[in-house]
Structure 1
C-alpha cells in the first residue's frame, strides 16, 4: 500500500512538473507569437517606408535631371586671349590659348596692316590701353585706339586673322580716347576727352552713328551688364569752370539718367575720376577709381530711379587703374598701378581678400588686366610685359617679358559669358 502511494505521489509530481512546463511553453509560445506579429508589423512599416523613400529618390533624380538639362552651361574658354605687345619700337599681337597659356600666334602688325595705317600707328603719340575690355561679346573684331598730332583713330581688325578691316578717324586732333562695347556687340562707344563727347559707332555698318556732347572730360565707358546703360567718369582736368561727376547714360540715345557730382563748376578742387566698372553679380553698384589720388568709391546705382550715390570708399598704396569681376567666383580684382592686384569681395562689402605684388619685380607699372574666360587666370599688362596670375592661388603662373604689354583682352570676355548666364 505504501508503495502504491509513493508511486502515485511520484506520478502526481511528474504531472505537476509537466503542467508547469506546458504552461511555461504556452506562455513562451504566446510571447513568441506576439513578437512575431509585432515583427511582421514592423517589417510591413519598413517596407512602406522603403517604397516611400524609393519614390522620393526617383522624384529627386527626375528633378536633378531637369535642372541639369535646363541649367546654363559651365563657363569654358571659347576663344583666345589677345595682347598688344611693343618690342623694339614695333607692335605685335600675341594670341594666347587660355587653357595652357601657350602663345599660339605672334602677329607682326607691320605685315598685317596697310603701310599707311601702320605708319600712323607706329608714329602715334599715344596707343591706348583703354580699349573695350568689359563684357566683350563674341565679336568678329578687335579694336585699337591711338592718337597722333594730326588726329585720333580707331582701327578695326578681323579677329580671325588680325587683318585690317577699317580705320576710322574719330577726331581731327589729338585727344585721349576710352572705349566700351555694348554686350550685344551692336555699338562701339568711344569717350573722347578733349572734345568732351561720346562717339557712337554702329558696328553693323562700321560708321559713326552719333556724337553726344558731354559736360566735362570723359575718362572711361563701362557698360551695364544688360547693355542698356553706361557708367562714365567726367573730370575737369584742373579747369575750375567744369564739374566732375559720375554719369549714367542710356544707350544709344545718350540721355543722362543719373548723376553724382564730385565737384560743381567753380569749385577749385579736382579729384580727377578716371575709371569705372559695373558688376554683373551686383548690378545695383558701380566702381569708380580716381587718378587724383589712390582711392576708389563704391556707388549705389538705380538707373531706372535716377539715383547714383556713394556707399563706401577705399584706398590703395598707389592709383587704381581699373577693376573687373571674376567670371567664376564672387570677387573683383583691382589693378593698382604701383603695386599689382588687390582681390576684393563683391560690393557693397568690398573687403580685401588678397594682394598680389607684381611691381617692380615683373612690371614697372600695372596698367590693366583681364580674366580668362573660365576665371582660372588673370592677365596683367604693363611696361615690362604680360604677367599671368593663377586665380586660385594668386601666384604668378607665367611671365611673358616685353618692352611693354599695352593691353590684354579676352574674346569673348569671361564677364560677358558669366553675365549672360545670370540673365537667363
Structure 2
C-alpha cells in the first residue's frame, strides 16, 4: 500500500487493468433516442450533452423515458463482440449527466426499470454476461453533474444556489452504494467532471467505494487526487511516457453518445496509431461505442473495431502486459517500442512500405539473443553491430511477404530485464 501526497493510500492496481490495456466504453441513455438532434436541427457538440446544450425543457426531456425501449440492446452480443475485438473490460454509463439511470434504483424512480416501458436493468444484464464470459465489468457514474436533480451541478450554469450536499448524500452516494452491492464485483467505477466538489466530498466518495468493494478502482475524474489512476482529457494523449498508470477515454467518431449526423469515423490506421502511442507510453485505451436509441451499435463503429480486433489477434502479445520503454532517441515513423522482462517488441504499422528492407535502429546497446515475428512465431532477422560512428546498432529485416498487412510486430529477446537506449552524445 502506497500513501500519496494527497493522503490517499493506493494499493497496486489489478493485473486486469495494468496488463489488459484496452477496454470498451459504452455511452447509452435517453440522449441516444435523440441522436444529437432537437426539433429537426443538429445540436453542436457531444450528443450525450444535448439536454444541456440545446436547453431542452426538463419535462420534455424526461418524457423520453416513456419511449425508451431499446429492443436491439443485447448484452450477450456486446460482450461477444468486445472479446472478439480484444477488449479486457467493459464500462457502461450507469448514469450520465442527464440523471437518468440504467439500473433499478430505490432512491430515484428516474431509471430504465421504473420509468421506461422496457422495464430493463441494463447494468444488471451487462454485469451478468461479463461475469459469465470472463470480462471485467465496470460502470460510469456522473457523481457531480445531475441535470435532473435540482441540487445536482450543471455545467455552464449558475450553481450558487444549489444544496449540493443534499444531492450528494440523498442521490449520489445511495446510487453508488446500489451499484456496488447489487451487481457483484465491479472492476472500476468511472467518475466524471467533479466540478465544484470539495476534497472532503471526493474522499468521502472514495471511502464509500473502498468500504464496499476494496478491489474496485476509481478513475482520475473523481477529483482532488482521490483516484487510483490518471484519466486524460477526452481523446488527448500525453506526449511522453508517464510512469504512473493512466487511461485515455476515446471515440471512434467525434461524439461519445450516438449522433446520427456524425459520420466522421476515424480510419483504422489512425485508431491503431493512437492505440500504439497510448500503450507504448504506458496508458490504457478506453474506446467508446454509442448505441442508437434502439440499442444498436452503428455498423461503421463495429467495422473499425473488427479490424482492430484482427490486429490484436495477430500482434496482441506485443501490447498486453507490456510496460513503457524509455523514449527512443530518434523519431520513428509509425513504429512503436514496448517491453516486457527480457523482451523488446517493435510494432510496425503498414509494414509493406518497408518490405524486403532492413530498418536501422541505432543506439540500442543490447545484443539480440533471438528474434521472432509475433503471431506466426517464425524467425526474424535482427542484426547487431556498430555504425561507422561506433554506435551500437540493430538492423531489422522486414520480410518481403508483409504487403497488405495492417501491422507486424517483432519480438526480440535480450539479456537485460529492461531495454535502454544509448545517448547520442556518448
Higher helix share: 2
Give yes or no for TM over 0.5. no
Higher strand share: 1
TM bin, normalised by shorter chain, reads under 0.3
Higher relative contact order (CA 8 A, sep 6+): 2
Q: Which has the larger radius of gyration?
A: 1
